[in-house]
């Protein structure tokens, strides 16, 4: 693996040729590439290998968000980490303490296992509409609870929005190596699309993010490599 990159560019697309092209031109700039469910369900492990061949120097974050019974999640985490060895892989923290512990035990090195807290496409209003609130907890409180649980289960970090970083960084229980992977990143003036809890790259890094996930502001730009470099230049 390369030195840990700051940015993972999300190159989720149903077109393998386009994904490979993006990996070639953006990967050397960002140092990290994120592949999600759409990509993995369409192209499978062979698609991941194509991306790795396109940019061998880039770390890969497989954003598959596993969530099932502990035995099932442990089995798929073992399979994916052993066969594909991504730099990062994730599960849903809400899948339970037992699920996270079993997944972590099954995760082969050097893959780091992260826990997804609350999706950045959700906000307080949407959580209330879908009746997904934990008692009367705010999003900040829910994320803090799930992050602490992930830490207790020895996971390597979490995925959260930049808005929760302040409360998380006030908690000194998290080690200096604990990863805060932050999606929902939008440069100043960029369209928020389906994201609700967003921050600019600099805001997120200043708040304590260790890694950023940025997709459409890079991949939909006329010059994706230049767009990625422009973001890096703001940090």
Residues 6+ apart with CB under 8 A from 178: 151, 156, 157, 158
Write the DSSP assignment of 88-144 as a string of letters. Answer: EEEEEGGG-HHHHHHHHHHPPTT-EEEEE-S-TT--HHHHHHTT--STT--HHHHHH
Encoding tokens for residue 110?
Answer: 């050097």
Separation CA 113–CA 142 (nearest Å): 20
Indicate which residue of 24, 34, 50, 65 is catalytic.
65
Burial of 78 (0-12, 13-18, 19+ CB in 10 A): middle
Secondary structure element (H or E) that encloses residue 173, with its range:
none
b/e per residue 119-129 (b: at least 16 CB within 10 A): bbebbeeebee
- Centre a 10 Å sphere on the Cβ of residue 15 and count the other Cβ atoms it contains: 12
Determine the Cα–Cα distance for residues 120 and 123; give it in Å rounded to an integer: 7
24 is catalytic: no
Query: Per the omega criterion (within 30 degrees of 0), is the bond before 127 cis?
Result: no
Question: CA 166 from chain center: how many Å?
Answer: 18
DSSP symbol at 163:
G
Alpha-carbon distance 147 to 75, whole Å? 23
Residues with active-site annotation: 65
């Amino acid at each position: 693996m390369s030195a840990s990159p700051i940015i993972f560019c999300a190159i989720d697309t149903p077109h393998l040729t386009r994904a490979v092209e993006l990996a070639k031109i953006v990967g050397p700039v960002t140092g990290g590439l994120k592949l999600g469910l759409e990509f993995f369900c369409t192209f499978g492990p062979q698609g991941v290998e194509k991306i790795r061949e396109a940019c061998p120097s880039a770390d890969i974050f497989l954003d598959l968000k596993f969530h099932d019974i502990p035995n099932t999640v442990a089995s798929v985490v073992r399979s994916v980490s052993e066969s594909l060895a991504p730099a990062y892989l994730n599960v849903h923290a809400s899948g339970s303490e037992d699920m996270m512990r079993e997944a972590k035990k099954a995760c082969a090195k050097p893959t780091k296992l992260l826990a997804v807290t609350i999706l950045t496409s959700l906000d307080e209003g949407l959580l209330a509409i879908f009746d997904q609130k934990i008692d009367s907890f705010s999003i900040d409180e829910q994320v803090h609870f799930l992050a602490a649980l992930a830490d207790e289960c020895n996971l390597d970090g979490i995925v959260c929005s930049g808005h929760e970083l302040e409360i998380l960084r006030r908690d000194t229980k998290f080690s200096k190596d604990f990863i805060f992977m932050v999606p929902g990143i939008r440069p100043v003036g960029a369209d928020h699309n389906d994201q609700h809890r967003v921050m600019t790259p600099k805001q997120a890094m200043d708040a304590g993010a260790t890694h950023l996930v940025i997709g459409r502001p890079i991949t939909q730009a006329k010059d994706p490599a230049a767009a990625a470099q422009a973001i890096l230049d703001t940090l």
